[in-house]
Amino acid sequence: MSKPKVVILGAGYGGLVTAIRLQKQMKASEMDVTLVNKHDYHYITTHLHMPAAGTDHHDNARVAIADLIDERKIHFVKSTVSQILPEEKKVVLGDRDLSYDYLVIGLGSETETFGIPGMNEYAMSIKSINSVRFIRQHIEYMFAKSKMEPKRKEYLTFVVGGAGFTGTEFVGELADRIPVLSRTYDVDPSTVKIINVEASPSALPPGLPEDLVEYGMEVMRRKGVEYKLSTPIKECTPDGVILGNGEFIRAGTVVWSGGIRGNSLLQQAGFDVQRGRVKVDECLRSYQYPDVFITGDCSIVMSPEGTPYPANAQIAVQQGYNVARNLLYAVRGRDLKPFAYDFKGTVASLGRGEAVGLLKVKKVKGKFAALLKKVIDARYLYLIGGIPLIWKKMIFKQKTTA
Ligand code: FAD
């Protein structure tokens, strides 16, 4: 009898952890597993704000998949998925089709611009190694350009749309980078503006208590960050942003971190989606196609209270564990185990040596929180690559070229 075919799409947090757990736990004869990813590396999305601002090298935010996957157990295919055909139990890649018995979709998210005119065209967003290399180069280019055209003050104005997790972490790093760039390009740092624009009345990741938000915003303000809260961006233009109150901010750089939606391939495949994401059953399967598991930012998991859990790396990793176990149970003819999210807490970096967060209900801030953030990062590296990966990534880091 032929082995059941499992295809995993995306080597992000959800997909990669599914593959790694399977390779640890399955017998080689049990199933035929293929992992498909656009790149031959896994990128650590939660680290991307640093290379985007230029405070770290992008190589520190990625790991070669070959270093994580045992190719005797998992076939790795570097390719871009162009179509998912759940009725035919098939996926279409650039150069071939793959059929499956079970499919795991972990293709991550796309930028949600909420239909704001010009946002797709003129703003940049932090979403991949390629995008952060581009942002970093652009920032430096603006510094260089400001010296060639000193009257164009807007070259040194940086607008970040969205003050949630990604926006906050990026702004913290950018503020840390300004003194270095100012020295390199002979720029007076007081002429540089960082403006974080947010539609909701509060900055920092949702769910943090008010005193931590205040603390975080104070840290950022001390670094020179200006907040515009309760202020939606109405339009992005080649020269800046128009705010809801009509104000125009002329800026050489606009980075949009205002929201995400699920990968558009799901909607194209006919899945019922809400902002591109699929509501899954208690075992993380599609209601329409029970042989399809969906993880991470592509999925919507409801809490027992009936509200969706926020999309983040923590839930994607836990989903990966659950999906791997349920795939094993499925091929072994056992009942599947429902997913139960264990929220361990959240810590947002505010730049060098500063962070704020909640561990379950315990508040953390300052240097201790920043240290904790490093521990969380190290724990993830340990989970996917053991001590050798921690050693390689945290001890022998690529030097930033700043
Ligand atoms: P991803 O990790 O995004 O992986 C998707 C994978 O699919 C990628 O490898 C991609 O290359 C691949 N892919 C996409 N399309 C295709 C295709 N067509 N063909 C082949 N491959 C494809 N969450 C936290 O919990 N804590 C944090 O501190 C935190 N910080 C963040 C900071 C930033 C700057 C950002 C951007 C996000 C942050 N998040 C954080 C959110 C977190 O990173 C995401 O929720 C998480 O990455 C989702 O994992 P995923 O498995 O769904 O997808």
Phi-psi region of 348 (alpha: psi -120 to 50; beta: other; left: phi over 0): beta
**Residue-level pLDDT at 360:** 86
C-alpha closest to that of 174 among 238, 255, 245: 255
Q: Which atom of ligand 1 is nearest to the CA of 14?
A: 51
Buried b (16+ CB within 10 A) or exposed e, 174-184: bbbbbeebbee
| pTM score, whole prediction | 0.96
Whether the per-residue pLDDT at 401 is higher than 60: the answer is no
CA angle 181, 199, 172 (to 5 degrees): 25
Overall size of the chain counted in residues: 402
Mean pLDDT of 365-374: 96
User: Ligand 1 atom closest to Cα of 128?
Assistant: 11
For tokens 């008010």, what's the residue? 210
What's at 366, amino acid-wise? Answer: G
Distance CA 123, CA 236 (A): 7
Instruction: Report which protein residue has its CA nearest ligand 1's atom 41.
Output: 312
Q: Quick check: 330 and 22 in contact, CB under 8 A? A: no
pLDDT in tens, 199-229: 999 999 888 999 999 999 999 999 999 999 9
What local confidence, expressed as pLDDT, does residue 94 receive?
Answer: 87
List of residues 6+ apart from 75 with CB closer than 8 A: 32, 33, 34, 35
92-145 pLDDT, tens per residue?
998 899 999 999 999 999 999 999 999 999 999 999 999 999 999 999 999 999
Active site residue ranges: 169
Provide the β-strand partners of residue 223.
Answer: none
Nearest C-alpha neighbor of 347 from the set 313, 302, 394, 321: 313
Q: Which residues line ligand 1 (CB under 6 A)?
A: 10-15, 36-39, 45-46, 48-49, 80-81, 106-108, 126, 165-166, 169, 263, 295-298, 311-314, 316
pLDDT tens digits, 331-361? 999 999 999 999 999 999 999 999 999 998 8
Return d(Cα 189, Cα 101) in angstroms, integer: 58
How many A from CA of 248 to the centre of ligand 1? 32
In the chain, the domains with their CATH numbers are 5-38+79-111+260-343 (3.50.50.100), 113-256+345-402 (3.50.50.100)
Q: Whose CA is nearest to atom 38 of ligand 1?
A: 46
> How many helices (DSSP H) and strands (DSSP E) are in the chain?
9, 24
Confidence of residue 394 (pLDDT cuts 50, 70, 90): confident
User: What pLDDT score was predicted for residue 400?
Assistant: 59
DSSP line for 142-155: HHHHHHHSTT-GGG
pLDDT at residue 329 above 70?
Answer: yes
Q: What single DSSP character describes residue 200?
A: S
Q: Output the pLDDT for position 57.
A: 96
Rounded to the nearest 10 degrees, the angle between the axes of helix 313-331 and helix 366-390 is 40
CA distance 393 to 283: 34
Test site for ligand 1: of 103, 312, 376, most ligand atoms within 8 A of the Cβ: 312
Query: Taking all residues of the chain, what is their mean pLDDT, rounded to a whole number?
Result: 96
pLDDT tens-digit series, residues 136-182: 999 999 999 999 999 999 999 999 999 999 999 999 999 999 999 99
The whole-number average pLDDT for the span 282-291 is 98
Q: Which long-range contacts (CB under 8 A, 24 or more apart) does 350-354 make?
A: 350/168, 350/169, 350/172, 350/216, 350/219, 350/220, 351/172, 351/173, 351/175, 351/176, 351/219, 351/220, 351/223, 352/55, 352/176, 354/172, 354/219
CA distances (Å), origin 158, targets 28, 100, 140, 223, 225: 52, 46, 12, 14, 10
Torsion of CA 128, 134, 136, 140, to 10 degrees: 180
Beta strands in 221-377 (DSSP E): 225-228, 233-237, 240-243, 248-250, 253-256, 260-262, 278-279, 292-294, 299-300, 346-349, 355-359, 362-365
Which residue, 297, 260, 264, 305, is CA-closest to 280? Answer: 297
Over residues 61-73, the pLDDT tens digits come to 999 999 999 999 9
Pocket residue to mutate for ligand 1, from 21, 39, 45, most atoms within 8 A of Cβ: 45
pLDDT greater than 80 at residue 262: yes
Return d(Cα 30, Cα 2) in angstroms, integer.
Answer: 10
Question: In degrees, to the nearest 5, what angle opens at C-alpha 127 toward C-alphas 366 and 10?
Answer: 115
Of ligand 1's atoms, which has the minimum distance to the CA of residue 347?
28
